[in-house]
Amino acid sequence: MKKNVGTVDQWIRIVLGIVLLALVFIIQGDWRWIGLVGLIPLATGISGVCPLYALFGISTNKAKDSGKTGK
């Protein structure tokens, strides 16, 4: 799949994912497991690919040749 998540979007997703995952350790009781939702933004931030963005034809990646690096 082509990268469709831009750099700023990636960092926001990674930070949000880590914060949500931290809830697993901070919150007590049954609600603590809601923090596992943080795996989704963390995975899409690390991979640079968001399936929902692909489904709706959205891309925040500014690179002309998505997924390629170099000059």
What's the rounded mean pLDDT across residues 30-46?
95
- Mapping DSSP onto H, E and C, the string for 1-70 reads CCCCCCHHHHHHHHHHHHHHHHHHHHCCCHHHHHHHHHHHHHHHHHHCCCHHHHHHCCCCCCCCCCCCCC
Query: What integer pLDDT is reported at residue 12 of this predicted model?
Result: 97
* C-beta separation of 13 from 45 below 8 A: yes
How many Cβ atoms are within 10 Å of 67's Cβ, its own excluded?
12
DSSP state at residue 71: -
Query: What integer pLDDT is reported at residue 1 of this predicted model?
Result: 81
Query: What integer pLDDT is reported at residue 27 of this predicted model?
Result: 94
- pLDDT range class, residue 63, cuts 50, 70, 90: confident
